[in-house]
Amino acid sequence: MILWLVFALMTAAAIFAVLWPLGRAREEQGGNDLAVYRDQLDEIERDRAAGLIGEAEADAARVEVSRRLIAAADAAEFSHPIPIGSPLWRRRAAAIAGLVLVPVGAIALYLLLGSPQMPGEPLQARLRAIHNDRSVASLVAQVEAHLAQNPNDARGYAVLAPVYLQLGRFDDAVNARRKVLALGGETADREADLGEALTAAANGIVTAEAKSAFERAVKLDATEPKARFFIGVAAQQDGDHGKAAEIWRDMLKTAPADAPWIATVQRALAEIGAAPASPPAVAVVPPAAGAPGPSAADVAAASQMSEQDRNTMIRGMVVRLADRLKQNGDDIDGWQRLLRAYIVLNERDKAQAAAGDARRALANDPNKLRQIEDTIKSLGLES
């Protein structure tokens, strides 16, 4: 309430300062006449003292000037009403109307179109909203401006390259990957990233240049998954489905239990009509270290089971995992394992339903929500 009062007083003061000159009357002549008549009385007295006029003449002159002085004084003190329609009346009417109508109109307009009952938003929330509203394009432009001033910053190019891929700027992504290699040195993952960008720039075709990059990556690290996968894609595109299946099956056999690319490799095998390496599902379901689930001994024993028994065991673990996630929806690793398990079990409807549950459970954690969205995209569960 005090703040509203302060604002009202400030508004009134500003309007008053602007409109006050409109209401001022022109300076009356009465003040000047009084001074003239006083000077005349003083002059008469000086002439009498100097003998220029006689006493009788001086008295007569003093009487006449005094009469005029009294009349001027009465006129100055008498307040005449301002005629309606006169310039002074119009100026004062405009001043009063502006002083009253401007703040009243502003308040009425705010009450009609504004939200006077809406509580103030904390500063931190406003700053966070400003940060979230920053577009990807503006962030990219900011990094590009930084790189224009620091062209040898390999980390800046490494940050930009995957963003370029997501934006469809494939040629820029290739250039950024080359810069990272040139400035940061040759590593398996950097070579694989370059091959990926070259493949994207060629509309998904693994060109000779891209294949060379993948082969350099495998030479540096024989277990580099991205390079191995795309070498299989190159074999598939060359019509050698047998070689592609062999590469991808070998990837599944040696895959870590929580490898995020397992489902992608399995879909690639399915597309060429090749069965995944046995046992496929056991490699997907076991949780990461420290999470509840089967032990290493359980997994080893599962590999000796029949297909039916193994699927029964896996379905039981999936059910328990799903029940646990209903109680603790913040477990990002659990959601990722559950989605992959449903894909392996060929239960796509359940996987899509679980994806929706995961989004809702992780909605308040932007970092985890981004991770689960990446997993959903990698599994082809986007609706």
- Per-residue pLDDT tens digits for 257-273: 788 888 888 888 888 77
Residue 82's Cβ-count burial label (10 Å; 0-12, 13-18, 19+) is middle
Q: Would you say 66 and 114 are in contact if contact means Cβ atoms under 8 Å apart? A: no
Measured CA to CA in angstroms, residue 383 lies from 198, 267, 345, 352 at distances of 28, 18, 20, 8
Measured CA to CA in angstroms, residue 43 lies from 34, 38, 58, 72, 299 at distances of 14, 9, 10, 19, 128
Q: Residues 6 or more apart from 16 whose CB is under 8 A from it?
A: 99
Distance CA(75)–CA(314), nearest Å, equals 111
Give residue limits of the domains in the chain. 2-113, 278-383
307-320 average pLDDT score: 65
71-82 average pLDDT score: 57
Rounded mean pLDDT of the chain? 76
81-86 average pLDDT score: 57
Q: What percent of the chain has pLDDT over 70?
A: 70
Measured CA to CA in angstroms, residue 324 lies from 132, 294, 330, 331, 350 at distances of 32, 14, 11, 9, 16
In tens, the pLDDT along 161-203 reads 888 888 888 899 999 999 999 999 999 999 999 999 999 888 7
List the one residue out of 166, 197, 233, 137 whose CA is nearest residue 374. Answer: 166
229-234 average pLDDT score: 92
User: In which band, very low, low, confident or very high, does the pLDDT at 311 lie, cut at 50, 70 and 90?
Assistant: low
- CA of residue 72 relative to chain centroid, distance: 75
